[in-house]
């Protein structure tokens, strides 16, 4: 394949959602919008409401056993999931976005990006019927512990994290953010022009042109930031390489004497 040719298969995301416009609006911008136009990724939506058979196109129903809140109506939801399965093929997972799922990580995003696509099911109301979860869902993913009104913002987070890993989506440049994350550190601080912004100066080292010293300074900054702001990531970085150990020791020694 020549350098300006695109792969012939597109990564296919299908979102089962009561609010298809929410998803289509959100993916239409910036990098994802361009990737869709370039045919690198395909984002489809399926609305359970279109599979509702009664005259009011109902998509919610009362919970057996009573109590407050509604549950997503079973038949239209399953019809929508099955329509997605038919379109995507059964080798791609059906994922229910749910606070009960495992929390999305870069590792999970990377694994999902290796497949041909995925179906993301967004909940509403109190969620879905347990039998749908048991028999039509392959796995559940959460984006974190807080209450949402629906699964759509969570699906957007998964789409963004996964699709930026598809070859060509970010362009051909190597991605510093990926390297940083897979190396397990936060990023070093970034600066752009002007070198003096209202009296706030850019660190001299970055203007020095000493590339080796700049790389060393950036690595030290990434390490000390990770240690102070993300002790959880810092623990997983241990044991440090001899070089990083020395960077940290030198940094701490200089901070003590200041």
Binding residues (CB under 6 A) for ligand 4G1: these are 97-99, 123-124, 127, 142-148, 150-151, 154
Residue 155 Cβ vs ligand 4G1, minimum distance, rounded to whole Å? 8
Nearer to ligand 4G1, 14 or 142 (CB): 142
Nearer to ligand 4G1, 43 or 122 (CB): 122
Residue 156 Cβ vs ligand 4G1, minimum distance, rounded to whole Å? 10
Find residue 61's DSSP bridge partners.
71
Q: Encoding tokens for residue 235? A: 């623990």
Residue 216 Cβ vs ligand 4G1, minimum distance, rounded to whole Å? 40
Provide the CA 13 distance to its chain's centre, in angstroms.
Answer: 13
Nearer to ligand 4G1, 99 or 184 (CB): 99
Buried b (16+ CB within 10 A) or exposed e, 212-245: eebeebbbbbbbbbbbeeeeeebeebeeeeeebe
Distance CA 202, CA 184 (A): 26
Residue 78 Cβ vs ligand 4G1, minimum distance, rounded to whole Å? 17
Residue 140 Cβ vs ligand 4G1, minimum distance, rounded to whole Å? 8
Nearer to ligand 4G1, 20 or 123 (CB): 123
Give 72: exposed, middle or buried? Use CB within 10 Å, 0-12, 13-18, 19+. Answer: buried
Nearer to ligand 4G1, 142 or 221 (CB): 142
Which helix (H) or strand (E) segment holds residue 197: the answer is: strand 196-197
Phi, psi (degrees; rounded to nearest 5) at 130: -55, -30
Other CB atoms within 10 Å distance of the CB of residue 163: 23
Nearer to ligand 4G1, 125 or 251 (CB): 125
Q: Encoding tokens for residue 185? A: 């550190």
CA atoms within 13 A on the CB side of 152: 18
Contact of 68 with 75, CB cutoff 8 Å:
no
Give 156: exposed, middle or buried? Use CB within 10 Å, 0-12, 13-18, 19+. Answer: buried
Residue 159 Cβ vs ligand 4G1, minimum distance, rounded to whole Å? 12
Residue 70 Cβ vs ligand 4G1, minimum distance, rounded to whole Å? 10
Nearer to ligand 4G1, 20 or 40 (CB): 20
């Amino acid at each position: 394949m020549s350098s300006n040719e695109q792969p012939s298969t597109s990564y296919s995301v299908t979102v089962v959602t009561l609010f298809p416009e929410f998803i289509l609006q959100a993916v239409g911008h910036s990098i994802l919008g361009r990737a869709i136009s370039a045919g690198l990724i395909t984002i489809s939506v399926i609305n359970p409401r279109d599979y509702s058979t009664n005259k009011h196109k109902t998509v919610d129903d009362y919970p057996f056993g009573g109590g407050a809140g509604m549950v997503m109506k079973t038949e239209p939801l399953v019809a929508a999931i099955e329509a997605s399965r038919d379109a995507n093929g059964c080798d791609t997972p059906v994922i229910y976005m749910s606070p009960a799922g495992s929390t999305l990580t870069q590792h999970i995003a990377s694994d999902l990006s290796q497949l041909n696509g995925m179906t993301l099911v967004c909940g509403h109301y109190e969620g879905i019927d347990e039998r749908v979860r048991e028999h039509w869902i392959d796995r559940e993913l959460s984006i974190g512990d807080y209450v949402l009104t629906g699964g759509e913002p969570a699906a957007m987070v998964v789409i963004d994290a996964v699709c930026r890993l598809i070859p060509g989506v970010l362009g051909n440049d190597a991605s510093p953010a990926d390297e940083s994350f897979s190396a397990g550190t936060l990023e070093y601080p970034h600066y752009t022009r002007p070198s003096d912004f209202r009296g706030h100066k850019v660190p001299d080292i970055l203007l020095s042109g000493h590339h080796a010293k700049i790389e060393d300074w950036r690595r030290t900054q990434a390490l000390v930031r990770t240690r102070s702001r993300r002790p959880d990531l810092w623990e997983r970085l241990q044991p440090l390489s001899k070089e990083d150990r020395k960077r940290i020791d030198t940094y701490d020694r200089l901070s003590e004497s200041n």
